[in-house]
Amino acid sequence: MEKIAQKFEKDVIRRDVQWLTASRESSVSFTPLHALDGIITPNGLCFERHHAGIAEIDPNDYRLIIHGLVDKPLIFTLDDLKRLPRVNRIHFLECAANTGMEWRGAQLNGCQYTHGMIHTVQYTGVPLKLLLEQAGVKPAGKWLLVEGGDASGLNRSVPLDKALDDCMIAYRQNGEMLRPEQGYPVRLVVPGWQGNMWVKWLRRIEVGDQPWYSREETSKYTDLMENGKARKFTFVMDAKSVITSPSPQAPVKQKGFQVISGLAWSGRGKVTRVDVSFDGGRNWRPARLDGPVLDKCCVRFYAEAEWNGEPWLLQSRAMDDTGYVQPSKDDLRKIRGVNSIYHNNGIQTWALKTNGEVENVEVG
Ligand code: MTE
């Protein structure tokens, strides 16, 4: 069976952008969005972003420590975590740098590369709230430092309110134990917030009274504005969408009936509506949302259309339940300039050519 899949589906793999990737261990690989449907990303196809390789942690030796401004510092083994009441939640994880290479113009020919730093997974684990309640956060405790057990010791500050609201200590993805590259055996889930905060190989949570201003939240993962000042803490990933098919890696093969398919998401809540345009944003029509529409989760949309071989400028535009509408790239740049790497949620344009090929372009 595996051989058949290897023969006919062998191109459905994570890929690197060669000029960006020194080695996959200390870099990034991209989810093949153009080859997927529905909302769940199969485990072996989830993009990976490692700051210093994949840590190898024996689950029997795994420990999670909670300390700082708590009544009772605690250490949990993996078995301790598995004995606690558990929940299942489906969420997207988007790297803040997703689409980051497109700030100055269309660069990469494929939604795998322009938008593939996202995956949507069902996580099984323990609400972080439960662990914090067991430790007893002191009244002065307002922030958490969350730290990974990899060589980068990646650490971030998370506001206590968010931790108590919906953060999870996850040990399973899509049913099986986390993959090593996703933080085996335990990672933090921070629904709707930038992927960098979803610490993998989570080993330490310290409760404090203010943010730590660690490297990853000061020199990195902040937005450098036109005037040279950087925004402090852009945690939430705003509403965004992309047409995954047709797209440069999924060209149109024949004229006639076409299923336009894509993904939309919002870190602020639920996607309420997606519009698609065939003429670069002059006219819009509502797409059909199909499958589950969940909080801080990807939703699948479809729009059916006849293609007679004329050029199309395909776009999608997401809206969420806060009333937010995904901006055009021009509107985004008016506010943000082009110094940023992070948080580019501008509307993507694909040019469908008369021969069925699709190209990454911008319309001005
Ligand atoms: N956690 C640790 N410990 N080390 C890391 O390098 N990378 C972060 C985050 N958590 C990272 C980490 C970044 S930048 C992102 S975008 C996500 O993990 C990527 O998660 P993934 O590899 O499951 O796609």
> What is the 198 CA–ligand 1 centroid distance (Å)?
6
Task: Judge if 91 and 221 occupy the same domain.
Answer: yes
Tell me the percentage of the chain whose pLDDT exceeds 70.
Answer: 99
Task: Judge if 142 and 170 occupy the same domain.
Answer: yes
Residue 91 in contact with ligand 1 by CB distance below 6 A: no
Cα Rg for the chain, rounded, in angstroms? Answer: 21
- Sheet of 240-245: strands edge to edge? 240-245, 256-265, 299-307, 288-290
Task: Judge if 311 and 214 occupy the same domain.
Answer: no
Task: Please give the number of the atom of ligand 1 that sits closest to the Cα of 152.
Answer: 4
pLDDT of residue 70: 98
Task: Judge if 57 and 115 occupy the same domain.
Answer: yes
CB 39 within 8 A of CB 120: yes
Whole-angstrom distance, CA of residue 130 vs CA of residue 168: 9
Whole-angstrom distance, CA of residue 66 vs CA of residue 134: 10
Predicted confidence (pLDDT) at residue 1 exceeds the cutoff of 70: no
pLDDT in tens, 238-251: 999 999 999 999 99
pLDDT in tens, 98-132: 999 999 999 999 999 999 999 999 999 999 999 99
The residue whose C-alpha atom lies closest to atom 2 belonging to ligand 1 is 200
User: Which residues face 121 on adjacent strands?
Assistant: 91
> What is the 215 CA–ligand 1 centroid distance (Å)?
14
Domain membership of residue 61 (yes or no) is yes
SS3 category, 272: strand
Tell me the percentage of the chain whose pLDDT exceeds 90.
Answer: 95
Residue 184 in contact with ligand 1 by CB distance below 6 A: no
What are the distances in angstroms from CA 108 to CA 68, 166, 179? 45, 34, 28
The domain spanning residue 215 has which CATH number? 3.90.420.10
Task: Judge if 222 and 283 occupy the same domain.
Answer: no
Q: Mean pLDDT, to the nearest integer, of 262-269?
A: 98
The domain spanning residue 283 has which CATH number? 2.60.40.650
pLDDT in tens, 13-26: 999 888 787 777 77
Question: Among the three residues 184, 205, 231, which one is the final residue of a domain in this structure?
Answer: 231
Question: Among the three residues 187, 206, 231, which one is the final residue of a domain in this structure?
Answer: 231
Whole-angstrom distance, CA of residue 309 vs CA of residue 86: 52
> How many domains is the chain built from?
2
Task: Judge if 151 and 125 occupy the same domain.
Answer: yes
pLDDT in tens, 168-211: 999 999 999 999 999 999 999 999 999 999 999 999 999 999 99
Domain membership of residue 12 (yes or no) is no
Q: Give the helix, strand, coil percentages of the chain, each rounded to 5.
A: 15, 35, 50
Residue type, position 269, single letter: G
Of 290, 300, 303, which Cα lies nearest the Cα of 257? 303
Domain membership of residue 6 (yes or no) is no
Task: Judge if 40 and 178 occupy the same domain.
Answer: yes
pLDDT of residue 12: 96
Whole-angstrom distance, CA of residue 364 vs CA of residue 349: 11
Of 205, 213, 201, 222, which Cα lies nearest the Cα of 151? 201
pLDDT in tens, 19-68: 787 777 778 999 999 999 999 999 999 999 999 999 999 999 999 999 99
pLDDT in tens, 294-306: 999 999 999 999 9
User: Which residues face 29 on adjacent strands?
Assistant: 48
Task: Judge if 90 and 149 occupy the same domain.
Answer: yes
pLDDT of residue 272: 98
> E-assigned strands of 98-253?
118-127, 143-148, 155-159, 168-173, 176-177, 187-189, 202-208, 240-245
CB 221 within 8 A of CB 194: yes
The residue whose C-alpha atom lies closest to atom 11 belonging to ligand 1 is 50
Predicted confidence (pLDDT) at residue 87 exceeds the cutoff of 80: yes
Q: What's the half-sphere exposure (Cβ side, CA atoms, 13 Å) at 178?
A: 28
Q: Mean pLDDT, to the nearest integer, of 325-337?
A: 96
Full domain range(s) for residue 143: 27-231
With the most atoms of ligand 1 within 8 angstroms of its CB, the residue from 14, 95, 188, 235 to mutate is 95
Q: Mean pLDDT, to the nearest integer, of 78-107?
A: 97
> What is the 80 CA–ligand 1 centroid distance (Å)?
24
Whole-angstrom distance, CA of residue 244 vs CA of residue 253: 15
Predicted confidence (pLDDT) at residue 6 exceeds the cutoff of 70: yes
Residue 48 in contact with ligand 1 by CB distance below 6 A: yes
Residue 189 in contact with ligand 1 by CB distance below 6 A: no
